[in-house]
C-alpha cells in the first residue's frame, strides 16, 4: 500500500568549498524520521543534492513523495535543466555524478518538487537545516578523531621541485652541469617559441572552430562563420523577441539574433536561435509573428544556453533599449545556472545614445532609420536578426561610421581603393545670373511681403 510522504531536504557548508552537511526531515501519516550526514571537503550545492538523494532513497519506491527544498538549483535542475544536460551528454555540467544519481533514484517514482524560501521560519525547512548542520558537526568530530587525510596525501605527493626533472643532480662535474644547463635553455626557448606560434594559430581559428562545434550541439542553432578575419574587441549587435514585456511576470525569450562587429566592420559572423518558451506567446504574436505552433519543436533555453553564453561572453553588447534585452537574458542565464550576462559583457544602449544626440525627438528604431536615411526593410513583423541588421546600420550612422551591410562589396571596394588610390575630380560649375526682369519681380515680391506683414522679409535684411 502506497503512502504520501513529505520530505524537507537541505544542505549546509562552512566555506564553499569546505566542511558540509546534509539533512532530510521525513514525515508521513504516522511518524517522522530525521537523517543526516556530511563531508569534510565539499560544496553547498553538493550537499543540497545529497540531501535530496538520501531522502528519496530512505522511502519506499511505491510511496508518493512531496519534496520541499530551498535550493532553486536542485528544484529547477531536476524538473527543467536536466533534460538539456542529458541531450548534450552532461557536457560542462557541474556535479554530474550527483545529478545522474538523483536522476536514477527518481526514475519510477511519483514525486512533486516544491521550492520554499530558506531561513524564513518554515518549520520543515528549519528542521532540515538543523539536521544539515548536525551532519556537519558530526563530520567535524570524526575528522578530528582520525588522522588528517589531506595531510597524508600531501606527504605522499612528490614535490616536482625535488624530483630533478632536468637531471641536474646526475651531472658529475661543474663543466658537465654547465653544458647540460645550456642544452636545457636552448630546448626550452625553442619550445616556448613553438608554443607561442601554435597559440597564435589557435587564437585565429577559435571563433570558426567554436562556431562549427556549437552548431553540432543542436540543429536549430544557426551560427554563421566570419567572412572577414579582423582583430580587435568584439561588438555584438543584438536583439531579442519575447512572449511579453515583463520578465518578472514569467515572460520568456523566444528568439535571439546577434551580428559580430570588429573595428566598426561587420565580420559576417552571426548567431540566430528560436527558443521554446514553454508558455503561450499570447498577444505578442502581433508584434513578431512567431506562433506557438512554430515554437513547438524548438529547443528550450537551457539546451542552447551554453552555446549562446560562449558566443556572447566578453563582447560589448549593443542593443536598442538594452535594459529590456539584458534583463531577459540575465534572467534566462541565471535560470540555466550561469552568471548574469551583464556581469561578463559591457553593454551599450543605442536608445540612450539617440536620446542624448536627439533630445525631445522620436528615437525608435523606425524613427532613426528615417532620420539617417537608411534603406528600408520590410518590418511587418519584428524579428531579432532583422532588427539587429537594421540596428547595425543605425549604430554606424549615429556614431559617424560607414554604413554598409554588403560585406563582400565593402571589402572589394576597399581593396581596389588601396591599389589605385582615390582619383581627384575637378569640375568647373557654371554661374547663372538673374535677368533684369527677374530682379524686378523679386523686388516687387519683397515690397509686397513687407506691406502685408509689417516687417521686412529675410531677403531684405
Has 283 been labeled as part of a binding site? Answer: no
Has 10 been labeled as part of a binding site? Answer: yes
Query: Rounded CA gap, 103 and 78, in Å?
Result: 7
Query: Rounded CA gap, 3 and 160, in Å?
Result: 59
Query: Rounded CA gap, 47 and 132, in Å?
Result: 8
What Å distances lie between residue 112 and 13, 22, 73, 78, 373, CA to CA?
A: 26, 20, 16, 11, 57
SS3 348: strand
Locus of grid cell 528560436: 274
What Å distances lie between residue 349 and 123, 142, 236, 319, 444, CA to CA?
A: 46, 56, 12, 5, 54
SS3 266: strand
Has 70 been labeled as part of a binding site? Answer: yes
Query: Rounded CA gap, 224 and 310, in Å?
Result: 15
Question: How far from each other are the two terminal CA atoms of the chain, in whole angstroms?
Answer: 104
Alpha-carbon Rg for the chain, nearest whole angstrom, is 34
Has 48 been labeled as part of a binding site? Answer: yes
- Which of 203, 382, 442, 448 is flagged as catalytic? 382
Active site residue 382: yes
Return the closest-CA partner of residue 125 out of 12, 3, 4.
12
Query: Rounded CA gap, 167 and 145, in Å?
Result: 42
Torsion 356-359-363-367 (CA) sign: negative
- C-alpha cell at position 53: 538523494
The answer to whether residues 322 and 351 touch, using CB atoms and an 8 Å cutoff, is: yes
Query: Rounded CA gap, 426 and 417, in Å?
Result: 19
Helix axes 301-312, 174-217, angle to 10 degrees: 130
Q: How many of the other CB atoms lie within 10 Å of CB of 276?
A: 18
Annotated binding site for Mg(2+): 10, 48, 70, 129
Annotated binding site: 10, 48, 70, 129
Active site residues: 382
Amino acid at each position: 500500500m502506497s503512502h504520501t510522504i513529505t520530505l524537507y531536504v537541505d544542505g549546509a557548508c562552512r566555506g564553499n568549498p569546505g566542511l558540509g552537511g546534509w539533512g532530510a526531515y521525513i514525515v508521513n501519516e504516522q511518524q517522522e524520521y530525521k537523517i543526516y550526514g556530511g563531508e569534510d571537503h565539499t560544496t553547498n550545492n553538493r550537499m543540497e543534492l545529497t540531501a535530496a538523494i538520501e531522502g528519496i532513497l530512505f522511502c519506499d519506491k511505491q510511496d508518493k513523495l512531496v519534496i520541499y527544498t530551498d535550493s532553486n538549483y536542485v528544484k529547477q535542475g531536476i524538473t527543467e535543466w536536466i533534460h538539456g544536460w542529458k541531450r548534450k551528454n552532461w557536457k560542462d555540467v557541474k556535479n554530474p555524478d550527483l545529478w545522474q544519481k538523483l536522476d536514477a533514484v527518481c526514475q519510477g517514482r511519483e514525486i512533486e518538487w516544491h521550492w520554499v524560501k530558506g531561513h524564513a521560519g518554515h518549520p520543515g525547512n528549519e528542521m532540515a537545516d538543523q539536521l544539515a548542520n548536525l551532519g556537519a558537526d558530526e563530520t567535524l568530530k570524526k575528522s578530528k578523531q582520525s588522522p588528517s587525510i589531506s595531510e597524508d596525501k600531501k606527504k605522499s605527493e612528490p614535490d616536482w621541485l625535488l624530483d630533478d626533472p632536468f637531471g641536474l643532480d646526475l651531472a658529475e662535474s661543474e663543466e658537465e652541469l654547465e653544458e647540460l644547463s645550456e642544452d636545457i635553455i636552448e630546448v626550452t626557448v625553442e619550445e616556448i617559441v613553438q608554443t607561442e606560434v601554435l597559440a597564435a594559430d589557435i587564437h585565429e581559428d577559435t571563433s570558426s572552430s567554436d562556431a562549427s562545434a556549437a552548431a553540432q550541439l543542436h540543429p536549430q542553432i544557426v551560427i554563421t562563420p566570419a567572412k572577414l578575419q579582423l582583430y580587435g574587441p568584439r561588438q555584438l549587435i543584438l536583439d531579442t523577441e519575447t512572449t511579453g514585456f515583463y520578465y518578472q511576470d514569467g515572460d520568456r525569450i523566444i528568439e535571439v539574433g546577434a551580428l559580430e562587429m570588429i573595428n566598426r566592420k561587420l565580420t559576417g559572423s552571426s548567431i540566430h536561435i528560436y527558443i521554446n518558451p514553454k508558455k503561450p506567446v499570447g498577444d505578442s504574436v502581433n508584434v513578431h509573428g512567431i506562433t506557438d505552433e512554430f515554437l513547438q519543436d524548438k529547443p528550450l533555453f537551457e539546451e542552447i544556453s551554453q552555446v549562446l553564453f560562449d558566443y556572447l561572453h566578453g563582447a560589448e553588447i549593443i542593443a536598442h533599449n538594452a535594459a529590456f534585452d539584458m534583463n531577459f537574458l540575465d534572467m534566462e542565464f541565471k535560470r540555466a545556472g550561469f552568471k548574469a550576462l551583464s556581469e561578463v559583457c559591457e553593454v551599450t544602449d543605442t536608445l540612450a545614445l539617440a536620446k542624448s544626440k536627439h533630445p525631445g525627438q522620436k528615437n525608435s528604431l523606425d524613427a532613426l532609420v528615417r532620420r539617417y536615411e537608411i534603406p528600408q526593410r520590410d518590418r511587418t513583423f519584428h524579428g531579432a536578426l532583422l532588427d539587429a541588421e537594421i540596428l547595425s546600420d543605425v549604430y554606424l550612422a549615429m556614431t559617424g561610421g560607414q554604413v554598409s551591410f554588403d560585406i563582400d562589396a565593402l571589402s572589394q571596394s576597399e581593396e581596389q581603393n588601396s591599389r589605385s588610390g582615390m582619383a581627384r575630380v575637378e569640375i568647373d560649375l557654371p554661374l547663372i545670373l538673374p535677368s533684369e526682369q527677374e530682379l524686378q519681380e523679386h523686388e516687387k515680391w519683397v515690397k509686397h511681403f513687407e506691406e502685408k506683414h509689417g516687417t521686412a522679409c529675410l531677403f531684405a535684411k
